[in-house]
């Protein structure tokens, strides 16, 4: 149904406010996908619901907003506004205005083009599919990559569609091909993954490793160990993947990386998914470290599942001055969005954490693997894809893909209805 009203009757100040709020909330939602404290359902109830409300509010302007809002936004350099404009054009009147979007792509700068790409991935309507297929023939490699990326994100990129791009030289197309290979379990392009495992570009090497892990699980352990030994560009992913494939080997590799003073962030991240009491105790030793203490604490919590607020395990900053001056300040949203995810982690109170471990150590069996305090299992893994922090869910989704050889994949950077649908496909009861 078309809910739009004549342009002369539209309250444009309200429409423009909806547009600006939608642009801001999309940026907020993208940042929330890396949150250490928000779950899928919390984001759905919070940022995503508000974003959708503003997008719905823009529907009332209909095609009257194309010249006034959407085309200027697509010509601008603002990624978030380009996302909103493209998202609304895709859904407008059954996709009849998709032809308005296509000719603009060639002249777009990188950031707005990325916003359009995300809109093409995220919009649930099939209206975009004919455009995406045409983009595969575009003369600009970056636009071909956007088309391929969006089609595979939507699970619409089969072998026949991807294969002609398997020998592409452009890095963005190569990455899009490899992600399509992983998402679609395209065994006919396994050689493309193998060819790029040792790429110097970390993003390309990680995309190749992800595809190789799903296509050839029998050799996954050896591939990860080789990359770790060589300290290849995808070493961070190899460490965490090895922890999922072979817990003992993964823990040894993470410990060796810590001893060799390799980047502790990657080793601690992997250690948190080995899930063993020994890994938890290694994390305990690092809690006081100014550089890696918060990362070690995150890994410890990922293993033990301790409620850090109820147990009062985080450091509380002392605020000088009288009580009336100690009111919580208004959040600085711009600073919050700019903050690197690692720097937003809670800071542990080491002595309190050690006391908690001493009291609870006997609950954890030495040769058992734990995921947030409970023994690892298929059911526990699926539960955590609903309840775990967004930051950790991507690894849980990777483990699910590895366990099922790519048959079940959860797109952790999609809107919540799509993710819930993916979970239902894994036979998980979702409320």
pLDDT digits (tens, 9 = 90+) for 329-376: 444 444 455 457 788 899 999 999 999 999 999 999 998 999 999 999
Note whether residue 13 is domain-resident: yes
Residue ranges making up the domain that contains 383: 376-431
Weakest-pLDDT range from 63-77, 273-287, 385-399: 63-77
**Could you give the CA distance from residue 81 to residue 220 in angstroms, rounded to a whole number?**
41
Q: How many whole angstroms separate alpha carbon 180 and alpha carbon 208?
A: 11
Backbone angles phi, psi at 348, to 5 degrees: -75, 155
Helix and strand counts by DSSP (H, E) for the chain? 25, 2
Residue 312 counted as domain residue: no
Task: Single out the residue in 135, 163, 187 at which a domain terminates.
Answer: 135
Mean pLDDT of the chain, nearest integer: 89
pLDDT for res 317: 47
Alpha helices in 198-246 (DSSP H): 202-215, 220-230, 235-245
| Cα–Cα distances in angstroms (integers) from residue 210 to residues 232, 234, 247, 331, in the given order | 14, 10, 18, 37
Residue 7 lies in a domain: yes
* Section 37-61 average pLDDT: 94
pLDDT of residue 331: 45
d(CA 15, CA 214): 45
Q: Domain count for the chain, please give it.
A: 2
Distance between first and last Cα of the chain: 29
Q: Is residue 262 part of a domain?
A: no
Which of 159-176 are b and which e, b meaning 16 or more Cβ less than 10 Å from the residue's Cβ? eebbbebbebeebbbbbb
Q: Using 50, 70 and 90 to split pLDDT, how confident is the model at 6? A: low
Q: To the nearest 10°, report the CA torsion of 335, 336, 340, 342.
A: 140
Q: Is residue 296 part of a domain?
A: no
Whether residue 335 lies inside any domain: the answer is no
Say how far apart CA 212 and CA 185 lie, in whole Å.
Answer: 10
Is this structure's pTM higher than 0.85?
yes
Is the Cβ–Cβ distance between 368 and 276 less than 8 Å? yes
Which of 220, 218, 196, 214 is CA-nearest to residue 206? 196
Identify whether the C-beta of residue 314 lies closer than 8 Å to the C-beta of residue 348: yes
Closest of 283, 288, 317 to residue 303, by C-alpha: 283
Residue with tokens 């560009």: 233
Q: Are 127 and 95 in contact (CB under 8 A)?
A: yes
Q: Which two tokens stand for residue 40?
A: 């899928």
* Domain end (from 73, 101, 135): 135
Asked whether residue 242 is assigned to any structural domain, the reply reads no
| pLDDT confidence band for 91 (50 / 70 / 90) | confident
pLDDT band at 185 (very low <50, low <70, confident <90, very high): very high
Listed range (173-182, 186-195, 206-215, 332-341) with the worst mean pLDDT: 332-341
Which distant-in-sequence residues (6+ apart) come within 8 Å of 414 by Cβ? Answer: 121, 122, 153, 422
Q: Which among 207, 206, 280, 218 is positioned nearest to 245, based on CA atoms?
A: 218
φ, ψ for residue 375 (rounded to 5)? -55, 140
Q: Which of 135, 163, 196 is the last residue of a domain?
A: 135
Residue 264: the pLDDT is 83
CA atoms of 175 and 203, how far apart (whole Å)? 7
Q: Is 120 within a domain?
A: yes
């Amino acid at each position: 149904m078309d809910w739009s009203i004549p342009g002369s009757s539209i309250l444009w100040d309200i429409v423009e406010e909806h547009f600006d709020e939608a642009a801001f909330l999309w940026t907020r939602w993208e940042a929330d996908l890396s949150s250490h404290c928000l779950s899928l359902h919390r984001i759905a109830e919070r940022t995503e619901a508000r974003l959708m409300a503003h997008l719905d509010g823009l529907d009332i302007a209909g095609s009257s907003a194309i010249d006034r809002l959407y085309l200027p936004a697509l010509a601008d350099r603002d990624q978030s506004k380009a996302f909103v404009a493209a998202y609304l054009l895709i859904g407008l009147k059954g996709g009849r205005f998709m032809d308005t979007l296509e000719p603009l792509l060639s002249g777009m700068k990188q950031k707005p083009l990325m916003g359009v790409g995300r809109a093409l991935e995220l919009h649930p309507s099939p209206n975009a599919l004919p455009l995406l297929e045409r983009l595969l023939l575009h003369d600009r490699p970056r636009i071909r990559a956007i088309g391929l990326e969006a089609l595979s994100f939507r699970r619409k990129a089969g072998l026949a569609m991807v294969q002609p791009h398997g020998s592409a030289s452009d890095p963005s197309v190569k990455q899009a091909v490899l992600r399509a290979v992983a998402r679609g379990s395209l065994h006919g392009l396994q050689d493309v993954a193998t060819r790029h495992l040792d790429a110097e570009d970390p993003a390309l090497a990680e995309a190749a490793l992800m595809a190789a892990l799903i296509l050839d699980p029998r050799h996954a352990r050896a591939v990860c160990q080789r990359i770790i030994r060589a300290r290849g560009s995808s070493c961070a992913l190899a460490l965490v993947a090895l922890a999922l494939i072979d817990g003992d080997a993964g823990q040894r590799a993470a410990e060796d990386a810590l001893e060799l003073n390799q980047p502790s962030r990657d080793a601690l991240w992997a250690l948190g998914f080995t899930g063993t009491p020994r890994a938890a105790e290694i994390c305990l030793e690092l809690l006081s470290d100014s550089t890696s203490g918060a990362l070690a604490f995150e890994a410890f919590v990922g293993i033990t599942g301790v409620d850090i607020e109820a147990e009062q395990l985080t450091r509380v900053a002392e605020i000088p001055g009288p009580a009336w001056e100690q009111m919580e300040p208004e959040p600085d949203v711009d600073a919050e969005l700019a903050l690197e995810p690692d720097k937003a982690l809670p800071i542990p109170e080491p002595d309190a954490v050690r006391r908690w471990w001493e009291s609870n150590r006997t609950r954890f069996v030495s040769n058992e693997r734990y995921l947030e305090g409970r023994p690892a299992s298929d059911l526990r893994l699926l539960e955590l894809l609903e309840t775990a922090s967004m930051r950790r869910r991507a690894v849980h989704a990777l483990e699910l893909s590895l366990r099922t050889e790519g048959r079940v994949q959860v797109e952790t950077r999609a809107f919540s209805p799509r993710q819930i649908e993916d979970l239902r496909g894994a036979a998980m009861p979702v409320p």
